[in-house]
Chains A and B, each alone.
Chain A
Amino acid sequence: MYNYNQFDHDFVRNRVKEFRGQVERRLDGSLTEDEFKPLRLMNGLYLQLHAYMLRVAIPYGTLNSRQMNQLAMISEKWDKGYGHFTTRQNIQYNWPKLKDTPDILDALADVEMHAIQTSGNCVRNVTADHFAGAAADEIEDPRPTAELLRQWSMDHPEFQFLPRKFKIAMTGSPNDRAVTKAHDIGIRMVRNDKNEPGYEILIGGGLGRTPMIGKVVREFLPKENLLPYVEAILQVYNLNGRRDNKYKARIKILVHETGIDTLRGWIEEVFKTQKAHHQAPPAEMIEAIEAQFQPPEFDTAKVDEDKLSKIISADPLLRSFVETNVSEHFDSNHSIVTISLKPIGGTPGDATAEQMRIMAGLAEAYGYDELRVSHEQNIILPHVRRDDLPEIYKVLKEAGLATANVGLLSDMIACPGMDYCALATARSIPVAQELLNAFEDLKVQQDIGPLKIKISGCINACGHHHVGHIGILGLDKAGVESYQITLGGDGTETATIGERAGPGFSYEEIVPAVSRIIDRYMDIRESGDDTFLDVYRRVGADVFKDALYPEEAASA
């Protein structure tokens, strides 16, 4: 993984020093809140419902054990002993005190981390496939490109005051695990006719108030042209994006109002100039970045699959864990383990300091010191030897981290909602918890099969509800929490915005309503392999609407 050079170290330390001075001036009254707010937000510090919240960037979701241990230490020393992993592959602390935040940022800098550009109308943390560098289906590891974009966008003087925030996501695999079609820029590694790797570039995806699927603006971009091309997109957006209306300021609205073909022309025009004048990063710099993302030196001793298979078969719980939480690695002796942060009764994405240390310890002992945060709020051990799976499972089980539910109903995304967020219009975490309780039997979930439920506590859609197979959006309807259901959303390479099912449900009604959808699916599916999304796409929304609104169906 990427290690800071002297420039990075100095930059981050200087930023902390600067922020320390700003906090001091806020505390002694020299700065008003209006003056201080943009400064704290530039350093990831929000003021939420009950307390401050510090959002820490985890570039493309990659961590080592030292960093994870430091996140644990910070949570104990300056917070309440836990952290919340987010759909942006970041971690949020919900209870930091203002005067402690410079010390927290210094502690982060000690392990090459920061909270810069986790807020504001700038290029945010670049996210990537959480299986990057390990997935069997990968063309190339997208992280060197993501790191290049991180360096390019960090404190970029031209792009600190864009019309609105700007999110870039990357995947190196045809199977899109990074929701690239719902980002301002989605970058997908592809190969051209000559089998050379390059990028397909999408723009204008996004969720929120006006959900849009990204459109292809460039089918194939040679790798060396990435920065001038992305810079051309940002320049066109910076000049033409709407600044008159916050709700129409994202690039998706520019794409929608201008049309992708016209916009492509503008971007290509700027790109020509950019390409001619852009000083490309020196080849040795690119090579130096790429060198830091080389796969670890894998233990090549052949795994005794017969022996492993017998061990796994003898323990039904281990078998269930391996079936759901373990994915294929490009090296046949290794696997990818997803550690679910969705235990029954828990808060999606939360991990205690002790759990963070256990995951760090596993990465160190069995995982070549690598961890990932997924946008689905889980933690990944990207490289583990297959014969270590039983031992890893044992350690996870003792730590309450072995829930075998990845990809199943209870592996849901939920934003913090009105339990924390100042923008929220309703709670989302308790809805997730009630759903987890209603379907706590993992056998039932396994029978239901792959199902993605995603919950947002407001229209900003941090919980990605638009791309949930079943999406839930919490709203304030005349002073009462009300939950709208969307159906048929999909965040993968076949991305689709879910369709609104109809009138909302009260807090008490929402879990029974979701249960009715699932009951209907179970009634009409043709086999266990006939997934919810397959059935929905085949039969359409009406069959599910009838189940959701039985009274209307009866009177029709």
Chain B
Amino acid sequence: MARVVYPKVVTANHLLEGDVIYMTASGEWSRKHEDAQLYEDKNEAEAALKIAKGQAHMLAGPYLADAQIGENGKPEPVHFREAFRTRGPSNYPNHGKQAEV
């Protein structure tokens, strides 16, 4: 069975706090996954990742993560690891991004 190829988002950790960030359509960075730009095209995704890699002064460890359009019409993670990154640790609901919701 052919492996499903998902669209990508560019994600990284913010340099100062290490918080998870996502690249938006305007090339800015957001702390919310739903703000992420979703790249259907592999080359566009790679180009965006290259831009992220050039921003080492404000982030660390950029990479492409699988994502898809969710029920609310906004990008959502595919893999559970990426889903955890959008929230924070499950043992402290008041820590991480989930605390801000």
Contact = CB atoms under 8 A, between A and B. Distances in A.
B96 A50 contact: yes
A33 B18 CA distance: 12
B32 interface: no
A27 B96 CA distance: 23
A252 to B, nearest CB: 29
Interface in B3-34: 13, 15-20
Residue in A33, A99, A420 whose Cβ sees the most chain B Cβ within 10 Å: A33
Interface residues of B, number: 25
A98 B89 contact: no
Interface string A41-59: 0000001111110000000
Interface stretch (A155-163, A200-208, A391-399, A425-433): A425-433
A403 B53 CA distance: 49
Contacts of B88: 50
A29 B56 contact: yes
B19 A51 contact: yes
Nearest to A53: B18
B84 A418 contact: yes
A443 B96 CA distance: 36
A80 interface: yes
B33 to A, nearest CB: 13
B48 interface: no
Nearest to A50: B96
Interface stretch (A209-217, A354-362, A474-482): A474-482
A418 B81 contact: yes
Interface string A338-360: 00000000010010000000000
B80 A49 contact: no
Given A50-B85, A418-B81, A419-B89, A33 B60 contact: yes
Contacts of B92: 80, 347
A45 to B, nearest CB: 10
A476 B79 CA distance: 10
Contact of A50 (B18, B60, B61, B91): B18
Interface in A473-524: 476, 479-481
A95 interface: yes
Given A49-B85, A427-B90, A479 B78 contact: yes
B59 to A, nearest CB: 8
A419 B78 contact: no
B19 A50 contact: yes
Contacts of A419: 84, 89-91
Nearest to B59: A33
A397 B13 CA distance: 40
B94 to A, nearest CB: 9
B84 A51 contact: no
Given A50-B19, A98-B18, A29 B57 contact: yes
A84 to B, nearest CB: 10
Contacts of A476: 80-81
Nearest to B17: A97
Contacts of B16: 27, 97-99
Contacts of A481: 80
B90 A52 contact: no
B95 interface: yes
Contacts of B97: 50
Contacts of A80: 92, 95
Interface in A35-82: 47-52, 80
B67 to A, nearest CB: 13
A151 interface: no
B18 A51 contact: yes
B10 to A, nearest CB: 15
Nearest to A95: B95
A427 B57 CA distance: 31
B55 to A, nearest CB: 10
A32 interface: yes
A26 to B, nearest CB: 8
Interface string A399-421: 00000000000000000001110
Nearest to B20: A50
Interface in B31-56: 56
Nearest to A419: B89
B91 A347 contact: yes
Nearest to A31: B56
Contacts of A94: 89, 95
Contacts of A433: 91
A328 B79 CA distance: 49
A178 B2 CA distance: 48
Contact of A48 (B18, B78, B80, B95): B18
Contacts of A98: 15-18
A97 B19 CA distance: 10
A260 B14 CA distance: 47
B56 A420 contact: no
B24 to A, nearest CB: 20
B77 to A, nearest CB: 11
Interface string A72-109: 00000000100000000000001101110000000000
A481 B83 CA distance: 13
7 contacts: A49-B20, A50-B89, A51-B19, A52-B18, A94-B89, A98-B18, A419-B84
Interface of B: 13, 15-20, 56-57, 60-61, 78-81, 84-85, 88-92, 95-97
The 6 closest A-B pairs by CB, nearest first: A419-B89, A29-B57, A51-B18, A52-B18, A33-B60, A347-B91
Given A98-B18, A419-B84, A429-B89, 20 more contacts: A28-B57, A29-B57, A32-B56, A33-B61, A47-B60, A50-B18, A50-B88, A50-B97, A51-B17, A51-B18, A80-B95, A97-B17, A98-B15, A418-B81, A418-B84, A419-B90, A430-B90, A430-B91, A476-B80, A476-B81
